[in-house]
Amino acid sequence: MNCFIIRYSEIGLKGKNRPYFERSLLSSIKRSLKYFNIEFSKITRIRGRIILHSKDKKADDALKKVFGIASFSEAIECPLKIQEIKKEVFELIKSSKDREIKTFRITTNRLVKNFNMTSQQINEIIGEAVLLRYPELKVSLKNPQLNIGIEISNSKAYVYTKKEKALGGLPISVSGRCIVLLSGGIDSPVAAYQIMRRGCNVHLIHFSHTTSTNKIKKIYEKLKEYNPLLKLSIIPFNNIENQIIKYSPSKYRIIILRIAFIKYIEKHFPNQPIVTGDNLGQVASQTIENLRTISSFSSALILRPLISFDKQQIIEIAKEIGTYELSILPYTDCCNLLVSTHPEIKATPEEIKEIVEKIQL
């Protein structure tokens, strides 16, 4: 194999959107290769695909972390001639022989339609050639042991046997930027992941109670694998916590803390959308009424990508992306001091307005 053929989902990629998406994806892939120290000789855009020339065995680890890639295959690039394609297909079968292959199929896909044969004709010609050369093999369209893919571009053909599913989503930056409120918990790293997956470049903000924020930095490093542009700021919040303890009855404290987070962001990062790991009904501060009250103190767009997820779903994603093991490490977060045994579950803006006004950010 001498290259990787990289596919993206083309749904919704119309008109002017398309080159922008493709350029962003290309930049994302280059960034990821650099981040993981993967050597490559060339990376190019062809119609509907990106071709990466790399012999580095670890290139697939980097590609598996790039949002916007739907799937990819390690492939052999060859000149666009039926004889050349045959030769490479024979090579592939030869190298798969030790795996006791008995059945195969050829699946051709033309990325451009100006080649002088249809996909079906190519399937038949190559299939027949394989049967002649390897009479012990049989075609199985439904359940082949070896599925040989051929993709036809303007000037080259690509031959491969495996398709790796990738993350999907949109390349970083096509949806702009946003702030993600990162706690030491399980949910907010997953919220950051979900919003990055939809093409947002992210600045993580963590409001800290202590100076030992190693755990937060570890979560940041893990998330950075999916977006090397990711930023983290840690903002000491003790002074504000103390004001909240001073001015607020205990039942409102967590809600006031959440409002203080949002107002702080609005002041220091004006016009940035704010993303949280809130999840409906999970804790007292996350009832519809309380979420509405928190939002009412700010005009910022607040996005809550996990709002409808079950905790179990969130945990599964956290495990898959590698943040779970870090999130369950012990940590004293801002809210630990402020939790109440009887938190208000239906705070109205009117009843807490005066307290909020006293907090100096």
Residues at the site binding Mg ion, with contacts judged by CB under 5 A: 183, 185
Residue 221 CA to residue 228 CA, distance in Å, equals: 9
Considering only 28, 54, 153, 188, the residue that binds ligand ATP (CB under 6 A) is 188
Find out whether 331 and 215 touch, Cβ atoms under 8 Å: yes
Asked if 323 interacts with ligand ATP (CB under 6 A), we say no
Kindly indicate which of the ranges 23-31, 84-92, 218-226, 281-289 contains the residues binding ligand ATP, using the contact rule CB under 6 A: 281-289
Q: Which stretch binds ligand ATP (CB under 6 A): 24-32, 73-81, 135-143, 178-186?
A: 178-186
Closer residue to Mg ion (CB): 32 or 183: 183
Cα torsion for 280, 282, 285, 289, to the nearest 10°?
30
Among 127, 277, 305, 343, which residue sits at the site for ligand ATP (rule: CB under 6 A)?
277
Residue 261 is a binding residue for ligand ATP (CB under 6 A): yes
283 binds, among ligand ATP, Mg ion, none (CB under 5 to 8 A by kind): ligand ATP
How many Å apart are CA 231 and CA 124, to the nearest integer? 52
> By the 8 A CB rule, do 184 and 333 touch?
yes
CA distance 49 to 110: 11
Residue 203 neighbours by CB under 8 Å, 6+ apart: 177, 178, 179, 180, 230, 231, 232, 233, 269, 272
The alpha carbon dihedral of 256, 259, 263, 269 has a sign of positive
Longest CA–CA span in the chain (Å) reads 86
Nearer to ligand ATP, 25 or 265 (CB): 265
To the nearest whole angstrom, how small is the minimum distance from the Cβ of residue 282 to Mg ion? 9
Q: Given candidates 108, 183, 295, 323, which one binds ligand ATP under the rule CB under 6 A?
A: 183
Altogether, the residues listed in the chain come to a count of: 361
For 346, the token pair is 């239906």
187 touches ligand ATP by CB under 6 A: yes
Binding partner selected for residue 38 from ligand ATP, Mg ion, none, CB under the kind-specific 5 to 8 Å limit: none
Residue 276 binds to ligand ATP (criterion: CB under 6 A): yes
Q: Which listed option, Mg ion, ligand ATP, none, makes contact with residue 261 (CB within 5 to 8 Å by class)?
A: ligand ATP
Q: Could you list the residues that contact ligand ATP (CB under 6 A)? A: 181-183, 185-188, 205-207, 261, 276-279, 282-283, 285, 333-335
